[in-house]
Amino acid sequence: MTPTQLLIAGQWQPAAAEATRDIICPIDERVIAQAAEADRMDTRRAIAAARHAFDHGPWRETNIRERARLLHRIADLVDRDAEHLAWLESLNTGKTLTESRTDMGDIAATFRYFGALVAGESGAVNEAPHHVISRTLREPVGVCALITPWNYPLLQAAWKIAPALGAGNTVVLKPSELTPLTTLHLARLLGELDLPPGVFNLVTGGAEVGAELAASLDVDLVSFTGGAAAGRHIMKAAADSNFKRVALELGGKNPNIVFADADLDIAVDRALDAAFFHAGQVCSAGSRLLVEDTVHDAFVERLAARMARIAVGSGLEAGTQMGPVQSAAQRARLMAMVEQAVSEGARVLTGGCAPQGESFRHGFWLAPTLVTGVTESMTIAREEIFGPVLAVERFSGETEALRLANGTPYGLAGAVWTRDLARAARMTRAMRFGTVWVNDYHPYFPEAPWGGFKGSGIGRELARIGLDEYTELKHSYINLAPAASGWFGA
């Protein structure tokens, strides 16, 4: 198979060292592609192209209506190739085609939302003396390094690309080395448009690429979605170089809280969505289920019965509800967490191993797993799982539920199930999370901000603030009647 290439200064080219990386399908462990493996020198060339395009090219001066039009055209191209993109996404990540098709619709909606937002941009006129024109302007930050994760490759790329380009920045994008295929296809779609060379650059590779982007003096902003350890390295490198702006989305340990007065049938149904959508490989997954003690046993019994009916299989086949996890390393990590939970006193009620059957001999499979008897001190209650493992804790009353929910270094998302609207309001205000759902789980839309408190990161994506992240504020002061009347005037 022909290795994919890097996109630098408008030209597709191999990595300088001609290194490649095998891209593995998690469904059956086949090599489905080979991606160019960039090194620091390749990354520097991409940064230089973006720097030149920003400093000397026409893009930053492009009329906002033209930038808005471009974002809408990208949305149209995503719609046009949506089925192929969905197939690529499922082949590369293992998620179901239903999930991937939903992602493609959300991606197009993201580009259209930011296109509409950019089209309405204007500066603000400030109150000032009669002989002064004072304006607040928003200008592009400059060269933006965008580093995206393996679980939602194209969706996370869209969340960053749309506001970055819409604000007039130039971009160097590094997709996850595990799942680059849909991002590569999007780069080809951008080639159908009239972007000046160097405005959008794509570099595939591993940690070496990310480290160079974070440390480069020619990068003005780095936006990263991924693990906390990598985020810490990026933040330190940014501080050690040029104090570039940093935006980090670092995952979560998200409580899904069920009170006894909730509609338990619906709560069971949505607890499955919260924990097992995309095999639980979602930063906002509700992998920590807190159930009020008076309904705990009945709720867990219903949950286990429903989990036994989840259709696990290839995401490319109709009827599949949950696919594999993304890699062998990820599966090994998950099974080690389950084993540790058992050693700490928890109980595996169902799952904890690969499903049985010939179709699961190859691939990175883990059956939906339910772990009960979990207490707040256990590792599985404190560390992000990122897989199809649901840990259940019990609580007694609102005060304890709130203490358990907030007792985590993360603060990305959480949910509350109750018919008591006053309780819902109290919990929503008191929970230290960037998103709190009530009687629902997982919905998001471009008009609402996304991001977390505490160890879940810095900054926000989507919404108005998601565009503001990619701009700098400037105060323009014009004195219409200058006079020699300063401190040291005549």
Superfamily of domain 6-250+456-476: Aldehyde Dehydrogenase; Chain A, domain 1 (3.40.605.10)
pLDDT score of 331: 97
Residue 406 near residue 364 (C-beta atoms within 8 A): no
pLDDT confidence bin for 487, thresholds 50/70/90: confident
Per-residue pLDDT of 147-180, as tens digits, reads 999 999 999 999 999 999 999 999 999 999 999 9
Superfamily of domain 255-438: Aldehyde Dehydrogenase; Chain A, domain 2 (3.40.309.10)
Alpha helices in 191-292 (DSSP H): 207-215, 228-240, 264-276
Per-residue pLDDT of 429-449, as tens digits, reads 999 999 999 999 999 999 999
Per-residue pLDDT of 288-325, as tens digits, reads 999 999 999 999 999 999 999 999 999 999 999 999 99
The CATH 3.40.309.10 portion of the chain extends over 255-438
What average pLDDT does the structure give for the chain? 96
Is pLDDT of 488 > 80? no
The CATH 3.40.605.10 portion of the chain extends over 6-250+456-476
Is pLDDT of 122 > 80? yes
Buried b / exposed e over 364-394, threshold 16 CB at 10 Å, is bbbbbbbbbbbeeebebbeebbbbbbbbbbb
The end-to-end CA distance of the chain, in Å, is 78
Is pLDDT of 485 > 80? no
Is pLDDT of 489 > 80? no
The arithmetic mean of pLDDT across residues 201-214, rounded, is: 97
> Annotated catalytic sites, by residue?
249
pLDDT score of 3: 83
pLDDT score of 285: 98
pLDDT score of 490: 61
pLDDT score of 2: 75
Quick one: CA torsion of 302, 308, 309, 312, rounded to 10 degrees? 140
pLDDT confidence bin for 12, thresholds 50/70/90: very high
Buried b / exposed e over 98-117, threshold 16 CB at 10 Å, is ebbbebbebbbbbbbbbbeb
Is pLDDT of 398 > 70? yes
The arithmetic mean of pLDDT across residues 110-117, rounded, is: 98
